[in-house]
């Protein structure tokens, strides 16, 4: 993918060079440089030896991530953070009026700036890097090459229960490693029939300004960020700022999650399964939710489900959420790890009569969710009605309904029609949750737990 807005410039004004060895792996460093007063624009290019893809399946070479801080500071939450582009941009421009996504345009104060370098992978021969900086190269702004414009056509889908919405909570745009613009993603979400879209670019929030709030004929936009650390990824929704991602330790992740939760964000552990990349911390911190279903079900999501169930059994009241993790709207190449379409899977949330961001996050906080294979369903509603459990299944004919309490199957029955409500005695367990399983053994829908004790 070409980097918008970056033109070849004159020879660099500043060159930063250095080397990382294997012991430096996954440790971010700040590399300072000085800029004079009167600055309007910076162009930054970087390269490094033995480059390999950031895909967790690839090894033996180097992957070097990059970010940028201005003189307003480098500490957690600082306004000085101008963006982080992982390893997916070789060059970018940051200026007063515009910046290459995912970087944020804005004031260009003189003084000490810092390039943030993260040696995500360091191969056996070490990683030699070179960063070239051009001061005021006068690069003209890029134009958005939108391929999706106009009024989206919403598909005809089975109705949800009144007060319930369907959405996708996890996707990426050109503000991280996706291939499309926020407006295109929202268009695609509408055409998938979604009522809301969680927007979660890696370690950036600059995409949020392009989305706007959505709503009306468009899906409601849930502002978010995928906090991308070297030991696992977590989502924060309902936040407009970046959260600390640079220290891959359990205590650091706990601190960052707690801070996000205290600021009102809803927080989830993402894709805790091999190659997710996995969640390597021995804590889920202040997480409210676990992304139990990321991309196609067959992509080892049964291990994410086990991760979640172990924590439910330990009494941790974690909501089930899902996300397509979609990156590529336009690419012809198959993206094996992520869904090819929004809504695969779909998260359904009870948001009540006045649906907005707060109501959707409220439903997620209350664990009033289920996750299904697609926006078309199947739909699975689990309620406690006095001494009974009521399970309503829509569109699940031919599958098996399984109720799971404390990690064990407590009921299993066939779903005989596409509109079916069944009741069961409340089991003597701490929690119960429901799941639909196809005749080939794939999970097609699963609910958050109801806590009984």
Least separation in angstroms between residue 170's CB and Zn ion is 8
Which CB atom, from 208 or from 270, has the smaller least distance to Zn ion? 270
For residue 265, the number of C-alpha atoms closer than 13 Å in the C-beta half-sphere is: 27
x/- mask, Zn ion, residues 330-369, rule CB under 5 A, reads ----------------------------------------
Task: Give me the least distance between CB of 226 and Zn ion, in Å please.
Answer: 5
Q: Which is nearer to Zn ion, 82 or 233 (CB)?
A: 233
Q: Contact at 8 Å (CB) between 119 and 64?
A: yes
Work out how close the CB of 88 gets to Zn ion at its nearest, in angstroms, rounded to a whole number.
13
Among the residues of 150-300, which ranges form H helices? Answer: 182-191, 207-211, 250-262
User: Least distance in Å: CB of 363 to Zn ion?
Assistant: 23
For Zn ion, the binding residues in 91-120 under the rule CB under 5 A are none
SS3 label, residue 360: helix
Stretch that binds Zn ion, among 49-57, 229-237, 353-361, 444-452 (CB under 5 A): 229-237
Minimum distance of Zn ion from residue 434's CB (angstroms): 27
**3-state class of 361 per DSSP?**
helix
| Separation between Cα atoms, residue 281 and residue 249, nearest integer Å | 7
Q: Which of 56, 46, 313, 89 is nearest to 201 (CA)?
A: 89
Helix (H, G, I), strand (E, B) or coil at 445: strand
Q: How far is the CB of 233 from Zn ion (least distance, A)?
A: 4
Residue sitting closest to Zn ion (CB): 233
Task: Write out the DSSP string of 409-435.
Answer: EEEEEE--SSEEEEEEEPPSSSEEEEE
Rg (CA), the chain: 23
Q: What is the DSSP letter of 144?
A: -
For 34-50, give the DSSP string: EE-TT--EEEEEEEESS
Under DSSP, is residue 299 helix (H, G, I), strand (E, B) or coil? Answer: coil
Closest contact distance (angstroms) between CB of 196 and Zn ion is 19
Which of 70, 85, 349 has its CA nearest to residue 196? 349
Between 56 and 123, name the residue whose CB sits nearer to Zn ion: 56
Contact 235, 200 (CB under 8 A): yes
Q: Residue 303 is encoded by which pair of tokens?
A: 């291990």
**Closer residue to Zn ion (CB): 270 or 379:** 270
* Site residues (CB under 5 A) for Zn ion, limited to 259-278: 270
187 touches Zn ion by CB under 5 A: no
Whichever of 324 and 367 has its CB closer to Zn ion, that residue is: 324
Select from 98-106, 215-223, 233-241, 355-363 the region that touches Zn ion (CB under 5 A): 233-241
Within residues 130-149, the interface with Zn ion by CB under 5 A covers: none
Applying CB under 5 A, which of residues 233, 327, 337, 338 lies at the interface with Zn ion?
233
What's the closest the beta carbon of residue 311 comes to Zn ion, in angstroms? 19
Q: Which is nearer to Zn ion, 328 or 380 (by Cβ)?
A: 328
Residue 28 CA to residue 229 CA, distance in Å, equals: 11
- CA-closest candidate to residue 311, choices 290, 295, 294, 291: 290
- The conformation of residue 110, written as its DSSP 8-state character, comes to S
Among residues 63 and 270, whose Cβ is nearest to Zn ion?
A: 270
Nearer to Zn ion, 100 or 200 (CB): 200
Cβ-based nearer residue to Zn ion, 164 or 234: 234
For Zn ion (CB under 5 A), the number of binding residues is 2
Q: How far is the CB of 178 from Zn ion (least distance, A)?
A: 12
Q: Cα(373)–Cα(382) distance, rounded to whole angstroms? A: 17
Stretch that binds Zn ion, among 129-137, 231-239, 339-347, 390-398 (CB under 5 A): 231-239
Contact residues: Zn ion, CB under 5 A = 233, 270
């Amino acid at each position: 993918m070409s980097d918008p807005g970056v033109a070849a410039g004159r020879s660099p004004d500043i060159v930063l060079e250095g080397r990382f060895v294997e012991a430096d792996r996954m440790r971010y460093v700040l590399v300072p440089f000085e800029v004079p007063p009167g600055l309007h624009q910076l162009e930054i290019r970087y390269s490094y030896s033995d480059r390999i893809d950031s895909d967790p399946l690839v090894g033996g070479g180097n992957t070097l991530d990059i970010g940028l801080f201005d003189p307003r500071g480098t500490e957690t939450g600082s306004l000085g953070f101008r963006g982080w582009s992982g390893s997916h941009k070789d060059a970018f421009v940051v200026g007063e009026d515009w910046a290459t996504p995912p970087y944020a345009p804005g004031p260009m104060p003189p003084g000490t700036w810092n390039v943030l370098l993260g040696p995500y992978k360091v191969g056996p021969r070490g990683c030699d890097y070179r960063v070239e900086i051009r001061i005021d190269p006068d690069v003209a702004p890029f134009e958005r090459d939108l391929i999706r414009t106009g009024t989206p056509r919403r598909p005809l889908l089975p109705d949800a229960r009144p007060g319930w919405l369907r959405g996708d909570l996890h996707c990426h745009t050109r503000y991280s490693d996706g291939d499309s613009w926020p407006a295109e993603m929202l268009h695609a979400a509408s055409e998938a029939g979604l009522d809301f879209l969680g927007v979660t670019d890696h370690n950036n929030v600059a995409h949020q300004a392009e989305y706007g709030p959505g709503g009306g004929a468009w899906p409601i936009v849930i502002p978010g960020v995928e906090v991308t650390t070297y030991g696992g990824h977590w989502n924060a929704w309902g936040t407009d700022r970046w959260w600390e991602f640079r220290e891959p330790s359990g205590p650091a992740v706990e601190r960052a999650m707690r801070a996000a939760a205290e600021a009102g964000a809803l927080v989830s552990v993402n894709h805790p399964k091999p190659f997710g990349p996995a969640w390597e911390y021995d804590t889920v911190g202040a997480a409210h939710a676990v992304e139990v279903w990321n991309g196609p079900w067959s992509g080892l999501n049964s291990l994410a489900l086990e991760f979640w169930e172990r924590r439910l059994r330990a009494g941790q009241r974690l909501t089930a959420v899902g996300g397509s993790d979609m990156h590529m709207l336009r690419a012809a190449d198959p993206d094996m790890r992520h869904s090819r379409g929004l809504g695969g899977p779909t998260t359904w949330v009870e948001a009540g009569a006045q649906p907005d961001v707060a109501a959707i996050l409220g439903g997620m906080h209350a664990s009033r969710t289920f996750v299904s294979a697609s926006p078309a369903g199947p739909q699975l509603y689990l309620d406690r009605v006095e001494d009974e459990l009521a399970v309503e299944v829509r569109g699940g004919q031919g599958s098996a309904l399984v109720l799971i309490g404390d990690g064990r199957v407590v009921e299993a029955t066939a779903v005989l029609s596409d509109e079916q409500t069944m009741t069961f005695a409340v089991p003597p367990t701490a929690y119960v949750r429901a799941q639909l399983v196809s005749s080939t053994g794939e999970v097609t829908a699963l609910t958050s737990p109801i806590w009984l004790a």
